[in-house]
Structure 1
Amino acid sequence: MNFVEKAERIAREAHKRQKRWNGEPYIIHPEAVAEAMRIRIKESFLDDYMATAWLHDVIEDCNITVINLLEKNIPENVALAVLTLTKRKNESYLDYILRIRMKELSRLVKIEDIFHNMYSIPKDGSELNKTRLQRYELAKYMLEN
């Protein structure tokens, strides 16, 4: 089993009981981000991006640490990219996005994460969803420019 398959297995196990805000299984989100990376990234770096996409929420949302990832033979650069994608306690969203901008692997995965989140938000006109979309649009702009 290669490390992308390990990353997928870790993500599926870590998120197995989680649901998205709309009731769908949470794993649909990392799966979509991984697929976006497969389409976007050149072959020579694809595995790093795919593994990071699968794992991008496991430290923040699950009982998994960067040490756990390293112990499961996830490459150090992937484990550190996942750590970069983990919003710190008391960190503002702006500071979080600015930190991600510094690391290309994390930056590109976060862009696809944001695209999928934006696509998933209902266009129902609610203030909550308008605010979410605005926040994601600003973050996407910051990461792309």
Structure 2
Amino acid sequence: MSASDLTQESGPDLVELARAIATSADEGQFRRDSVTPYIEHPAAVASRAPKSPESQAAAWLHDVLEDTDLSAADLLAQGIPARVVDAVEALTKQEGLSYEENLERVDANELAKGVKIADMLSNLADSPTKSQICKYARGLLKLLVE
């Protein structure tokens, strides 16, 4: 049995683990409206992301390194596979890099790419500003066309 077979067999467990980590990490955080619990955003991203267990796990965790005190090492220690953690790291904005440079990091990781597209679609469905609409349109064109 290969490691990928094991991941597929434990898929629902992986998704549940990722959901639990994200729910705990995001506890007490809210969306821009200061009313909507933040966890609704990763849930929306997961609903739009590719349906593989790894993609779903990355969708649930896509903002935790950026918005909480959790580290990549914490995710690995909690049982998140390295391939998923690599995708979450690719999805995490790096200070000093432009939006386009961050998108290049995402584009280089196929797992991250599918989650980022789902993230942008979720953000576009959440009352974006005109500036955000333009930004996400540029991002979607980069990830979908190039």
TM-score (norm 1): 0.88
- Say what the alpha-carbon RMSD is for the aligned residues: 1.2
**Deviation for aligned residue 1:87:** 0.5
Q: Which amino acid aligns with 2:116?
A: K
**Deviation for aligned residue 1:134:** 0.3
Q: Who is 1:27 aligned against?
A: 39
Superposed CA deviations along residues 56-79 of structure 1, whole A, max 9, x for unmatched, are 000000001000000001011001
* 1:1-145 to 2 correspondences below 5 Å: 2-23=13-34, 24-37=36-49, 40-41=50-51, 46-122=52-128, 129-145=129-145
SS across alignment from 2:54: helix
Superposed CA deviations along residues 78-130 of structure 1, whole A, max 9, x for unmatched, are 011001100011211110011111111000000000000011025xxxxxx11
TM-score (norm 2): 0.87
CA contact (8 A) 1:121 1:133 kept: no
Q: Which amino acid aligns with 2:17?
A: K
The unaligned stretches of length 5 or more in structure 1 are: 123-128
Q: Who is 1:125 aligned against?
A: none
Q: Which amino acid aligns with 2:139?
A: A
Structure 2: distance between partners of 1:112 and 1:14: 21
**Deviation for aligned residue 1:4:** 1.2
Identity across the alignment (%): 37
Structure 2: distance between partners of 1:47 and 1:6: 11
The unaligned stretches of length 5 or more in structure 2 are: 1-11
CA contact (8 A) 1:118 1:133 kept: yes
